[in-house]
Structure 1
Amino acid sequence: MQRIVRNMGWLLGGRGVNAALSLVYIPLATRTLGLDGFGYFAIIIALGQIVTGIANFQTWQFVVRWGAEGEGPARATGFAIALDLLSLVTGALLAAILVASAPLWLPLPADLLWLAFGYCLVSLFALRSTPTGLLRLRFQYGRATAAEATQPVVRAIGAVLAFLFMPTVTGFVLAFAASEIVVAAALWIVAARSERIETSEISLRRIPAAHPDAWRFVLSTNLSGSLLVAGKQVMILLVGAIGGEAAAGGFRIASQLGQALVQLAQTIIKAVYPELVHAKEDAVAIARRIANAALIGGVLAVGVALLFGREALVLIAGEEFRVVYWAMVILAIGGAVELVGASLESLLVSAGRAGTAFLCRALPMGLAFALLETAMGWQGLKGAALCVLGASALAVIGFWVSILSRLDIRIRPEDAAKAPPRPVE
């Protein structure tokens, strides 16, 4: 448990640097571009993150899972790199389809289409899940955090340069693209210094030959990771398609500030998953303690959003963005729910139930997408935020029920009254 806390400390320290420097580039972007221009910027960034989120396999999980076994990390790393190369090909094709069809459903001007496609390609070449996995396998969270800190630093510097010399959507997108390249290079360099990369081990066949369930695990974690992206980035695009570029820009700001807890939840997953893999017998107890602590943190964070969120929006993004306050609060509640569910999802994946975790996310997310247009017609951006909150709540309930029914976890008598009823087998 002490190592988990230490690893979380490194990861949260990196998040702290990111949050602090975001106070540089977010105000510069919003005040320079305005609500509509920031909406175009949000759509382009969302397209790039969707492409990488869908095409990119969660290779860090493969490196941790199979690299921890007797054969060592070389073969697992080779498999992960081979999957990265596959991601480049499939991602480029997906990017071409999305950008070519963008004028049919997105409020994106024709002169920004090539910029959007270029950002998608840069994001694909900056894949960094594999070196991150190598560092987490060896519990080198300090080195990983130092390398990842280059991203917000470059974004902040790039935003200042864009503000001074190219105060356009293109300038700020270029700043984000540069940060993606720099952080990927930093992580690969640090990982290569701590672990030898065997190019002869790059193969899509060796790991599946030794582990018959490999492809099922690969596809399940990829789909689950894609859904995490869909929950935020696809929602931004759909909000823009329904409400226009101003709605997309407003929802991105509300999401970025309100769902900072989701990033915290992802941090917990990254810190907890290697521990659950290594400590199978204590996995349930670890997950329970982290979920309890997360509940307290989530409640406190929602309280802060309620009390100070409106002033923070105006201070950070400008007066134009005051109207997204309630959407931000609703998304903060959704972030708190995700925070509680983070360790439960990690527990399912570490126990080989990645497919179950995927279904727990897929069904609520599909429902949220189906109801989005109706919800926005009813309550605008608040309606879109309610869809995200509902999907998060249903997913976490699904994790909890799945753990009880599939892993046969025994609950202490004093907790029995708090637990949802166990499904009949």
Structure 2
Amino acid sequence: MRTRLFNIGHLLTGNLFGSLIGMLAFVVTARALGPTDYGILALTYSYTRAVERLVSFQSWQPLIKYGAELQGPEHRDDYRSLLKFGLFVDMSAATMAYLVSIGLALLFGPLLGIGDAALKQVLIYSTVLLFQINGLPTAVIRLAGRFRLVAYGTLVGGLVRLALCTIGLAMGADLLFFVIVWTVTQIVGALSLLFLAFVELRRQGVGDLLRAPLRGVTTRFKGLVSFTVGSNVELTVRSSANELDTLIVGMLADPTAAGLYHVAKRMGRLVLQLGVQVQAVLYPDVARLWARRALGEFRSTVLQMEILLIVFGLMLVALTFLGIRPLLYWTAGPQFAAAAPLAMVQMVAVAMLLSGGAVRTALLSMGRQPAVLKIVFVAAIAFQITAFSVIPLIGAMGANIAHVVMATVMLTGLIAVYRSALAKEALHPTIAAVDDSPGAPSGTVTARPA
């Protein structure tokens, strides 16, 4: 637990600086552009991010799950093949995301809330999608436990972005300048993460990744394809709420409301980064524990992290209610003070999602991704029904209420499935074993009755 907290501390420290730098860049941009142009930039950013989430695969999930079972140099070739599979998935998804983003914007822009004023910005910013190859580097760095590397090694792009945005504010630059700045710095950040991953692989002696054989990789790792496709479907369904919400507000309300909502949402994202960092440290550990069927340590590890997340979430809700108004006034400016109530309700939803982070990670390690997918699907439907019903009546606040509804459904479902899975494991325990039977693929891991 001490080691996990130490690693989480490194990630949080690096991510805190990165998030603060990112928030300062947003604040400087907001002051430079004002609510209307900033709303267009927010719609551009949200649209491109939504397309990425709808099309891309969370390939790091299967890479970590199956990579955690490959211990020792005798599995190095299997590890190389697994990583090459993930790299090809990432590259294919990045190319597809770029083509989809450009195509949808040109053909259906007005229907998606992208008017003539935002189309040019969307076409420029969509270039970042070609470089979003994040699954492989995320898996490599997390499996190696090199959390300090990623915590502090990716701050350069954020610092460059903040510096350029500050220059733009001083020069009185227009919207196009800030779009180009965000595009270039986003690409630099993605490439730096990929570079760090290949440096780590070289340190491990895992080279010639592109020469690794792909034939038979889906046979050696049973369930790899279904896990990979399932991660894409889950991300797509979740993104219909988490990434399309700003676009929905812009479509059902106006760009100004979308800008205010986006400011509140950015503050919520700062908090959700804790859950992301906990999962980054926890997932490889609990995947190894589950593979060994060390159930006692598995339960206690998940419980410890759940308590940590619940306490932290409650503290942040209280701090938000107490200090959000002066924070917005002295950062984004008085014209964004109307986002304070939005941020309060958003933080309630964020705290609920945060508290279920460890349970979700445990379910993925247990191979319960289909159950997680069903929960996310039901929660997303609840979000869409609430959002389209309430936003026309009360504006951007309706999207925050929809997030609370979604978080309630997800938290309740995750806890119920986790308890059920543990109860079934207690009644019918299994052990992980390597299938060495004649004709079995090398290194195939199966579950046999204890």
TM-score, length-normalised on structure 2? Answer: 0.86
Q: Does 1:91 align with 2:97?
A: yes
Give the match for residue 62 of structure 2.
Answer: 62
Q: How does 1:114-129 map to 2 (within 5 A)?
A: 114-129=120-135
- Which one of the candidate residues 251, 266, 270 is aligned to 1:260? 270
Give the match for residue 10 of structure 2.
Answer: 10
Aligned 8 A contact 1:337 1:393 in 2 = yes
Deviates more, 1:226-235 or 1:282-291: 226-235
Give the match for residue 182 of structure 2.
Answer: 176
Give the match for residue 420 of structure 1.
Answer: none
Q: 1:106 to 1:164 in 2, by over 3 A?
A: farther
Shift of residue 202, structure 1, vs aligned partner: 6.6
Shift of residue 96, structure 1, vs aligned partner: 2.5
Give the match for residue 271 of structure 1.
Answer: 281
Q: Does 1:318 align with 2:333?
A: yes
- The separation in 2 between residues aligned to 1:82 and 1:202, in whole angstroms, is 12
Q: 1:68 to 1:338 in 2, by over 3 A?
A: same
Give the match for residue 162 of structure 1.
Answer: 168
- The separation in 1 between residues aligned to 2:67 and 2:10, in whole angstroms, is 22
Deviates more, 1:357-366 or 1:370-379: 370-379
Give the match for residue 423 of structure 1.
Answer: none
1:273-323 alpha-carbon deviations (Å, 9 max, x no partner): 111111222222211111111111111100000000111111121111111
Return the letter of the residue paired with 1:250. Answer: L
TM-score, length-normalised on structure 1? Answer: 0.91
Give the match for residue 295 of structure 1.
Answer: 310
- The separation in 2 between residues aligned to 1:274 and 1:409, in whole angstroms, is 23
Aligned 8 A contact 1:273 1:350 in 2 = yes
**RMSD between aligned residues:** 2.0
Q: 1:367 to 1:37 in 2, by over 3 A?
A: same
Percent identity, please.
19
- The separation in 2 between residues aligned to 1:162 and 1:242, in whole angstroms, is 31
Deviates more, 1:232-241 or 1:258-267: 258-267
SS at match of 2:243: helix
Deviates more, 1:56-65 or 1:306-315: 56-65
Q: 1:10 to 1:130 in 2, by over 3 A?
A: same
Give the match for residue 419 of structure 2.
Answer: 404
Which structure has the larger Rg? 2
- The separation in 2 between residues aligned to 1:174 and 1:394, in whole angstroms, is 39
- Which one of the candidate residues 155, 159, 165 is aligned to 1:153? 159
Q: How does 1:46-57 map to 2 (within 5 A)?
A: 46-57=46-57
Give the match for residue 34 of structure 1.
Answer: 34
Shift of residue 250, structure 1, vs aligned partner: 0.8
Q: 1:24 to 1:262 in 2, by over 3 A?
A: closer
SS at match of 2:57: coil
Return the letter of the residue paired with 1:103. Answer: G
Query: Which residues of structure 2 form unaligned runs of 5+?
Result: 427-450
- Which one of the candidate residues 159, 175, 186 is aligned to 2:192? 186
Shift of residue 402, structure 1, vs aligned partner: 0.6
Return the letter of the residue paired with 1:386. Answer: I
Q: 1:82 to 1:23 in 2, by over 3 A?
A: closer
Return the letter of the residue paired with 2:16. Answer: G
Q: 1:229 to 1:153 in 2, by over 3 A?
A: farther
Q: 1:206 to 1:124 in 2, by over 3 A?
A: farther
Give the match for residue 199 of structure 1.
Answer: 210
Return the letter of the residue paired with 2:131. Answer: F
Q: How does 1:231-242 map to 2 (within 5 A)?
A: 231-242=241-252
- The separation in 1 between residues aligned to 2:49 and 2:127, in whole angstroms, is 11
Matched pairs, number: 410
SS at match of 1:108: coil
- The separation in 2 between residues aligned to 1:117 and 1:369, in whole angstroms, is 27
- The separation in 1 between residues aligned to 2:399 and 2:187, in whole angstroms, is 32
Shift of residue 136, structure 1, vs aligned partner: 0.8
Aligned 8 A contact 1:26 1:316 in 2 = no
Give the match for residue 414 of structure 1.
Answer: none
SS at match of 1:167: coil
Q: How does 1:378-417 map to 2 (within 5 A)?
A: 378-408=393-423
Aligned 8 A contact 1:255 1:331 in 2 = yes
Aligned 8 A contact 2:87 2:133 in 1 = no
Runs (4 or more) in structure 1 with deviation over 4 Å come to: none
- Which one of the candidate residues 230, 242, 245 is aligned to 1:220? 230
- The separation in 1 between residues aligned to 2:234 and 2:3, in whole angstroms, is 26
